[in-house]
Structure formats: structure tokens, C-alpha cells
Chain A
Amino acid sequence: MKRIATIALVFLAFVGTAPAVSPLEEVKATTEKILLVLKDSKMQGEEKKSERRKLVRDEMEKRFAWEESARACLGRHWIKRTPAEKAEFVKLFSEFLKDTYSDKVATYYGDLEKVDYQGEKIQDDYASVKLVLKTKAKVDHPLEYRMEKASDDWKVYDVVIEGVSMVKNYRDQFDAIIAKSSYEGLLKEIKAKQPVKP
């Protein structure tokens, strides 16, 4: 009986442990992977643009907590939606973010000189990873990834650029659009912002 209890305790200890990799390490790994792809000599040129974008999208897909991010951006309007509407919104919003950010990263990485990782801060199931993007024009851009603990790693749910939270920015915009038109109007606007895929 005692032996079973010991085994159960050891098992619980393993189940209850925090993700093995720290949030900073997760961010570092994803960033370095993206930069490696973008710097690759075989990936240069206009004809490789869609391939570069796809690789950035794939890395984003793995690192983001899409449902948490979409829910936070929709704010109080999320509660009024049906499960089917929520699922549709998460899909639409994640595609919109992936398109927007992969395009920006793939286009402007040429300005980047260095990524300076500042450190991480963990509190309960939340973490904040801060870094500074140093450009060739000698301008520093502070960036913060806000992360939540998932089952086996840390996922990003908000990105704060120069002190402006992505979630807060979209929450305010979505709120204004819904107040002016409707939830359906918001969906229409997000769909209209998505680039036409070749």
C-alpha cells in the first residue's frame, strides 16, 4: 500500500511539474528559427516571398495561443457568441494575425541588426518575456511577449510593441466596430483586410 502511494506521489510530481523549457527559451528558439529562415541565402528574392511568409506563419502557429488571444481581443462580445461563432472567429482572427504579422516580419527583417533578450518574469501560470529589437538605424524597439502556461510549453497570447498591447488595440477597435455596426459587420471587415491569396 505504502509502495503504491509512493509511486502515485512520484507520478503526481511528474504530472505537476512546470513545462521543461522556460518562456524565454521558447521565444528565443522561435525567433532564432524565423531569423535563420529569413537570412538563408536560398530564401531570398521576390519569388521566395510566399515561401518565407509560409515558414513564419508555421512558426507563429506553434507558438501562439489562438483561442485565448481571439477571446481576449473580442472582449465582452465573446460571451454573447455561440460555440460555432466562437470557433469561426478564432479561425478567422488567427488567419488575419498570421497574414498581417508574417507579411511584416518577412518584409522588414532587413532593418534588424540584433535581438537583445532582456529576460523573463514568471508569475503563477503567466510569463512575460522582454526583448529589444535593435535596428541598423540605431533605434531600439522594446517588445514584450505575454505568455500563458499550456500543458507542455508556454504560448503567446499578447504582444506589446513600444508599450502598446496588441490585445488592447484590437479589443478597442473591435468594440468600436461592433458598436457602430454589428458583430457580422466586424467579421466582414476582418475578411476584407485579409490579403487575396494567389
Chain B
Amino acid sequence: MQKQRFEFFVGLFMAIGILCLAFLSVRIARNEFFAAGGYEVQAVFTDCSGLRSGSTIMIAGVEIGRVKQITLEDYEAKVILKLQPGVVLQKDAIASIRTKGLIGEKYVEITPGAADQMIPPGGTLHGTEPAMDLEGMISKFVQGNLSKPAN
């Protein structure tokens, strides 16, 4: 009888441990299983290197949503942004892919606009800025630059 009780508590302990592990995995992977509400808008970037599903979307450093999906469309990156309820974006808002610090993770930064019209759920954010291509910039700097007059 005592052995059965002991085994029951071991089992319970294991089950709680597995649940905690699952909860932490979900949190770490930033899956949005429990996120409810909000709406989606899409944005097309010429380059979204480093961005992934679950990356944060911020305005002024405050999280306002997460990247839901990234797909290739017409050789460009179509990114579905899931925004929190209550967040409204003007038609001329701009989405830029930025890096947290010098080598940190990528996130989407939104700069609010001033247009009277707002982007409806399912709408498109037309103003986008791709991820900074450091290698490309260095190669242009080494090879030459249009802003320098020809000798």
C-alpha cells in the first residue's frame, strides 16, 4: 500500500516536471499557442535574413506583436505580422528589419505614420525596409561608391 502511494507521488512529480518542461519550451520557442485576439497584416521585404516566425514586432521598443509566417512570393519575402488587439497602424507606417545590438536577434521595428487611413486586418503595409546587408555595404565601399565623383 505504502509502495503504491510512493509510486503515485513519483508519477505525479514526473508529470508536473514534464508539464513545466513543455511550458518552458513553448515560452522559449515563443510559440503563440495561448495568444488570442489581435489581427494580421502583411509586409513584403526584399530581404528578411535572420528574421523568423516568432520574432518580435516593436514600436518605440515596446512589443506590439509577433511575426507569424514568412514565405517566398515572387522572389521576395512575404511576412505575416500578427499584431496585438488595439494596435492600429497608419497607411504610411514603415516596417524595418533591425538587429538588437550589433549581433543580436532580428526584429521588426514599426515607425508610425501620419495618414488618415489605417491598415485594416488582412491589409498590406507598403512601406518596408529590408535587413541591412553589411557584406554588400563593405563590398560597395571597397569597390567604389556612386556618391563619389569619378576621377
Contacts and interface: CB of A to CB of B under 8 A. Distances in A.
Interface of A: 68, 71-72, 74-79, 104, 107-108, 110-111, 121, 123-124, 126, 133, 135-139, 141, 144, 146, 158, 160, 162-165, 167-168, 171-172
B47 A163 contact: yes
A179 to B, nearest CB: 11
Interface string B101-124: 000000000011111000000001
Interface stretch (B13-21, B50-58, B79-87, B140-148): B140-148
B129 A168 contact: yes
Contacts, number: 81
A25 B102 CA distance: 41
Contacts of A146: 126-127
A136 B126 CA distance: 33
A136 B148 CA distance: 13
Contacts of A137: 143-144, 150
B74 A111 contact: no
A75 B112 contact: yes
Contacts of B94: 165, 167-168, 171
B114 A74 contact: yes
Given A107-B149, A163-B46, 7 more contacts: A71-B113, A135-B146, A160-B129, A162-B137, A163-B47, A163-B129, A163-B132
A62 to B, nearest CB: 22
Nearest to B124: A123
Contacts of A79: 114
Contacts of A139: 140, 143-146
A89 B124 CA distance: 28
A78 B93 CA distance: 13
Interface string B47-68: 1000000000000000000000
